[in-house]
Amino acid sequence: MRAGELVALKWKDIDFDEQTISITKTYYNPTNNTLEYQLVPPKTRKSKRAIVVDKEVIAAFKKHMLAQKKMQEYYGEAYLDEGFIFAKKEKQAGYPIFIKTVENRIARLLKLSGLNPELTPHSLRHTYIVVSRSKGKLRRDYGAAWSL
Protein backbone atom coordinates (compact mmCIF):
# COMPACT_ATOMS: atom_id res chain seq x y z
CA MET A 1 0.00 0.00 0.00
CA ARG A 2 1.31 3.44 -0.87
CA ALA A 3 1.70 5.96 1.97
CA GLY A 4 -0.98 8.24 0.47
CA GLU A 5 -3.40 5.31 0.26
CA LEU A 6 -2.69 4.49 3.90
CA VAL A 7 -3.32 8.05 5.07
CA ALA A 8 -6.59 8.19 3.09
CA LEU A 9 -8.01 5.03 4.69
CA LYS A 10 -11.31 5.35 6.47
CA TRP A 11 -13.02 2.85 8.74
CA LYS A 12 -15.59 2.12 6.04
CA ASP A 13 -12.70 0.77 3.92
CA ILE A 14 -12.12 -2.09 6.37
CA ASP A 15 -14.25 -5.23 6.13
CA PHE A 16 -13.60 -6.86 9.49
CA ASP A 17 -15.51 -10.04 8.58
CA GLU A 18 -13.80 -10.63 5.23
CA GLN A 19 -10.46 -9.31 6.55
CA THR A 20 -10.00 -6.94 3.63
CA ILE A 21 -8.94 -3.34 3.11
CA SER A 22 -10.42 -1.55 0.11
CA ILE A 23 -8.09 0.91 -1.58
CA THR A 24 -10.24 3.49 -3.37
CA LYS A 25 -8.48 6.82 -2.84
CA THR A 26 -5.23 8.52 -1.94
CA TYR A 27 -4.37 11.58 0.12
CA TYR A 28 -3.17 14.70 -1.70
CA ASN A 29 -1.95 17.79 0.11
CA PRO A 30 0.71 19.74 -1.83
CA THR A 31 0.60 22.71 0.58
CA ASN A 32 0.86 20.61 3.78
CA ASN A 33 -2.06 22.57 5.20
CA THR A 34 -4.03 20.20 7.41
CA LEU A 35 -7.33 21.81 6.47
CA GLU A 36 -6.77 21.76 2.71
CA TYR A 37 -6.23 18.09 1.91
CA GLN A 38 -7.93 16.29 -0.95
CA LEU A 39 -8.86 12.66 -1.43
CA VAL A 40 -8.20 11.74 -5.05
CA PRO A 41 -8.29 8.52 -7.08
CA PRO A 42 -5.29 6.22 -6.62
CA LYS A 43 -2.24 6.40 -8.87
CA THR A 44 -3.60 4.07 -11.55
CA ARG A 45 -6.92 2.43 -12.40
CA LYS A 46 -5.52 -0.92 -11.22
CA SER A 47 -4.58 0.68 -7.91
CA LYS A 48 -8.22 0.41 -6.82
CA ARG A 49 -8.20 -2.96 -5.11
CA ALA A 50 -9.04 -4.98 -2.03
CA ILE A 51 -6.18 -6.32 0.05
CA VAL A 52 -6.66 -9.38 2.23
CA VAL A 53 -4.90 -9.04 5.59
CA ASP A 54 -4.03 -11.37 8.44
CA LYS A 55 -6.23 -11.67 11.51
CA GLU A 56 -3.48 -9.92 13.51
CA VAL A 57 -3.90 -6.83 11.33
CA ILE A 58 -7.66 -6.89 11.89
CA ALA A 59 -7.08 -7.24 15.65
CA ALA A 60 -4.72 -4.26 15.58
CA PHE A 61 -7.34 -2.21 13.69
CA LYS A 62 -9.98 -3.11 16.29
CA LYS A 63 -7.67 -2.06 19.12
CA HIS A 64 -6.85 1.18 17.32
CA MET A 65 -10.55 1.84 16.72
CA LEU A 66 -11.28 1.58 20.45
CA ALA A 67 -8.44 3.96 21.29
CA GLN A 68 -9.66 6.39 18.65
CA LYS A 69 -13.20 6.30 20.04
CA LYS A 70 -11.84 7.29 23.46
CA MET A 71 -10.02 10.19 21.83
CA GLN A 72 -13.22 11.27 20.08
CA GLU A 73 -15.06 11.25 23.40
CA TYR A 74 -12.28 13.33 24.98
CA TYR A 75 -12.33 16.01 22.25
CA GLY A 76 -16.09 15.93 21.67
CA GLU A 77 -17.25 18.30 18.95
CA ALA A 78 -13.69 19.58 18.43
CA TYR A 79 -12.82 16.20 16.85
CA LEU A 80 -13.38 16.10 13.09
CA ASP A 81 -15.02 12.73 12.63
CA GLU A 82 -14.77 11.88 8.95
CA GLY A 83 -13.79 8.31 9.69
CA PHE A 84 -10.04 8.52 9.06
CA ILE A 85 -8.17 5.58 10.55
CA PHE A 86 -4.88 7.46 10.84
CA ALA A 87 -6.06 10.75 12.28
CA LYS A 88 -4.24 13.50 14.12
CA LYS A 89 -4.50 13.20 17.89
CA GLU A 90 -3.94 16.72 19.15
CA LYS A 91 -4.04 19.94 17.15
CA GLN A 92 -6.75 19.54 14.51
CA ALA A 93 -7.77 16.17 15.95
CA GLY A 94 -9.51 13.87 13.50
CA TYR A 95 -7.90 15.29 10.38
CA PRO A 96 -5.74 12.84 8.42
CA ILE A 97 -2.07 12.70 9.33
CA PHE A 98 0.52 13.85 6.80
CA ILE A 99 2.34 11.39 4.55
CA LYS A 100 5.55 12.78 6.06
CA THR A 101 4.33 11.57 9.47
CA VAL A 102 4.15 8.01 8.11
CA GLU A 103 7.64 8.35 6.64
CA ASN A 104 9.07 9.73 9.90
CA ARG A 105 7.52 6.99 12.01
CA ILE A 106 8.80 4.27 9.67
CA ALA A 107 12.29 5.80 9.78
CA ARG A 108 12.18 5.79 13.60
CA LEU A 109 11.02 2.15 13.69
CA LEU A 110 13.72 1.10 11.21
CA LYS A 111 16.38 2.75 13.36
CA LEU A 112 15.05 1.12 16.54
CA SER A 113 14.97 -2.29 14.89
CA GLY A 114 18.46 -2.00 13.42
CA LEU A 115 17.20 -2.22 9.83
CA ASN A 116 18.42 -0.13 6.92
CA PRO A 117 17.35 3.46 7.69
CA GLU A 118 17.34 4.24 3.96
CA LEU A 119 14.18 2.15 3.48
CA THR A 120 10.98 4.05 2.72
CA PRO A 121 7.33 3.04 2.97
CA HIS A 122 7.41 2.51 -0.79
CA SER A 123 10.44 0.22 -0.68
CA LEU A 124 8.87 -1.72 2.20
CA ARG A 125 5.76 -2.16 0.08
CA HIS A 126 7.83 -3.83 -2.63
CA THR A 127 9.81 -5.87 -0.09
CA TYR A 128 6.57 -7.22 1.36
CA ILE A 129 5.38 -8.30 -2.07
CA VAL A 130 8.64 -10.07 -2.93
CA VAL A 131 8.94 -11.86 0.43
CA SER A 132 5.28 -12.89 0.51
CA ARG A 133 5.42 -14.08 -3.08
CA SER A 134 8.48 -16.21 -2.33
CA LYS A 135 6.61 -17.82 0.58
CA GLY A 136 3.64 -18.61 -1.64
CA LYS A 137 1.36 -16.16 0.16
CA LEU A 138 0.63 -13.98 -2.85
CA ARG A 139 -0.83 -14.72 -6.24
CA ARG A 140 -1.16 -12.62 -9.35
CA ASP A 141 -4.74 -12.44 -10.61
CA TYR A 142 -5.39 -11.41 -14.21
CA GLY A 143 -2.63 -8.82 -14.28
CA ALA A 144 -4.27 -6.85 -11.48
CA ALA A 145 -2.73 -5.88 -8.17
CA TRP A 146 -1.14 -8.52 -5.96
CA SER A 147 -3.56 -10.21 -3.62
CA LEU A 148 -3.29 -12.62 -0.76
- CATH code for the domain of 93: 1.10.443.10
Q: How many CB atoms neighbour CB 14 within 10 A?
A: 20
Q: How many CB atoms neighbour CB 84 within 10 A?
A: 21
Give me the domain span that covers residue 51: 3-147
CA dist 87 and 97 (Å) reads: 5
Q: Contact 136/148 with Cβ under 8 angstroms?
A: no
Mean pLDDT split into 10-residue runs, the chain, 148 residues: 93 96 96 93 89 92 97 95 95 94 89 86 71 64 40
CA dist 38 and 68 (Å) reads: 22
Domain count, the chain: 1
Q: Can you give the pLDDT at residue 136?
A: 67
Q: Can you give the pLDDT at residue 8?
A: 97
Q: How far is CA 50 from the centre of its chain?
A: 13
Q: Can you give the pLDDT at residue 134?
A: 74
